Amino acid sequence: AQSVTQPDIHITVSEGASLELRCNYSYGATPYLFWYVQSPGQGLQLLLKYFSGDTLVQGIKGFEAEFKRSQSSFNLRKPSVHWSDAAEYFCAVAPRTGGFKTIFGAGTRLFVKA
């Protein structure tokens, strides 16, 4: 069955420290891959996406993600976290064929401590 797993329910990092949020997917073929961020009381905002080509993808707000086919992973990273990055992060996948139905992971809540 198609699924997206975000192993960490929540993560706490110090401001200025580096960040990595994990995402693993289970799909018949490599899907389109996305990371979204959701601030409290807000909708989801697209951070970045992977379709093909370079496996290291740059996004907004200084985030990047690396696609690793052999590990079926698409981990999100940021070299230096700011307090304003505290939010919930969702990994999502969509098939390259068919109805393009996007499936979201359960999310990882990021806490940033001063």
Partner 1 sequence: EAGVAQSPRYKIIEKRQSVAFWCNPISGHATLYWYQQILGQGPKLLIQFQNNGVVDDSQLPKDRFSAERLKGVDSTLKIQPAKLEDSAVYLCASSSSRRDVYGYTFGSGTRLTVV
Give contact residues for partner 1 (rule: CB under 8 A).
4, 32, 34, 36, 41-46, 49, 51, 90, 92, 99-107
Q: How many CB atoms lie under 10 A from the CB of residue 69?
A: 9
With left for phi above 0 and alpha for psi between -120 and 50, is residue 100 left, alpha or beta?
A: left
Closest separation in Å from C-beta 18 to partner 1: 24
Closest separation in Å from C-beta 42 to partner 1: 6
Closest to partner 1 by CB, 34 vs 63, is 34
Closest to partner 1 by CB, 38 vs 73, is 38
Closest separation in Å from C-beta 79 to partner 1: 23
How far, in Å, are 6, 15, 70, 80 from residue 83 at the CA level? 22, 6, 33, 10
**Distance from CA of residue 62 to its chain's centroid?**
13
Closest to partner 1 by CB, 18 vs 42, is 42
Closest separation in Å from C-beta 77 to partner 1: 19
